[in-house]
A and B are shown apart, each in its own frame.
Chain A
Amino acid sequence: MELFDRMVSLILLPLIYSPLYVAVSLGFNILFSSTRIINIAYGDLVMIGAYTAYWLYAIYKIPPIASIPVAAVIGIFIGYVMYTIIYNRILASGSVSVIEEQSIIATFGLSMAIQGVVAYLWSPTAVSYTYLEQGVAIGSILVPLNVFIIMITGVIMAFTTYILLYRTYIGVAIRGIIQAPRLALDIGLNTSKIYMLASIISTVLPVVAGAAISMRVQINPFMGVEYLVIALVITALGGLGNPVGSLVGAILYALMDSAIGYLLPPGLKLFYLYTLFLLVLLVRPTGIMGRPQVVR
Chain B
Amino acid sequence: MVVEIRIDRVSKWFGGIKALDNVSLEVSRGEVIGLIGPNGSGKTTLLNILRCLLKPDRGWVEISGVRLNGMDPERLADLGVASIYQFPRVIKDLTVAENVALAVLKRQKNLWRAELLAIEYLKDVGLGGKAHMLAAKLNRYEVRLMELARAMAMKPRVLLIDELLSGLSEEEQREIRGLVRSYLDSSGATAIWVEHAIGSLVREVDRLVVLNYGSLIADGEPEKVIRDQRVIEAYLGSYTIA
Contact = CB atoms under 8 A, between A and B. Distances in A.
A191 B102 CA distance: 12
B150 interface: yes
A188 B78 contact: yes
Interface in A167-203: 167-169, 172-173, 175-176, 179-180, 182-189, 191
Contact of B94 (A169, A175, A189): A175
B111 A189 contact: no
Contacts, number: 67
Given A167-B111, A185-B74, A188-B78, A242 B93 contact: yes
A183 B91 contact: yes
B77 interface: yes
B73 interface: yes
A22 to B, nearest CB: 18
B208 interface: no
B20 interface: no
Nearest to B90: A180
Contacts of B77: 185-188
Interface residues of A, number: 20
B103 interface: yes
Contacts of B93: 175, 179, 242, 291
Contacts of B103: 187-188
B189 to A, nearest CB: 16
**A173, A185, A186 interface centre (most CB from chain B within 10 Å):** A186
Contacts of B114: 169
Interface in A234-273: 242
Given A179-B93, A183-B89, A169 B109 contact: yes
Interface in A190-244: 191, 242
B102 to A, nearest CB: 5
Nearest to B136: A291
A161 to B, nearest CB: 16
A226 B92 CA distance: 34
A150 B208 CA distance: 67
B110 A169 contact: yes
A173 to B, nearest CB: 6
B194 to A, nearest CB: 16
B74 A176 contact: no
B105 A169 contact: yes
Nearest to B102: A176
B94 A173 contact: no
A172 B111 CA distance: 8
B101 A172 contact: yes
A172 B92 CA distance: 12
B111 to A, nearest CB: 4
A182 B94 contact: no
Interface string B43-66: 000000001000000000000000
Given A169-B114, A176-B94, A179-B92, A185 B73 contact: yes
A180 B150 contact: no
Contacts of B150: 187
A288 B77 CA distance: 36
Contact of A172 (B51, B89, B102, B106): B102
A176 B91 contact: yes
A186 B102 contact: no
B74 A187 contact: no
A23 to B, nearest CB: 21
Interface in A131-153: none
B91 A180 contact: yes
B4 interface: no
Contacts of A191: 74
Contacts of A183: 89, 91, 102
Contacts of B83: 186
A169 B78 CA distance: 19
Contacts of A167: 111
Interface string B99-139: 10111011001110010000000000000000000000000
B154 interface: yes
22 contacts: A167-B111, A169-B101, A169-B109, A169-B114, A172-B94, A172-B111, A175-B91, A176-B94, A176-B99, A179-B94, A183-B89, A183-B102, A185-B73, A186-B83, A187-B77, A187-B102, A187-B103, A187-B106, A188-B76, A188-B77, A188-B78, A191-B74
Given A169-B101, A169-B105, A186-B82, 16 more contacts: A169-B111, A172-B101, A172-B111, A173-B105, A175-B91, A176-B94, A179-B91, A180-B90, A180-B91, A183-B91, A185-B73, A187-B102, A187-B106, A188-B76, A188-B77, A191-B74
- Across the A-B interface, give the 6 residue pairs with the lowest CB-CB distance, nearest first: A188-B77, A187-B103, A169-B111, A183-B89, A179-B91, A169-B105
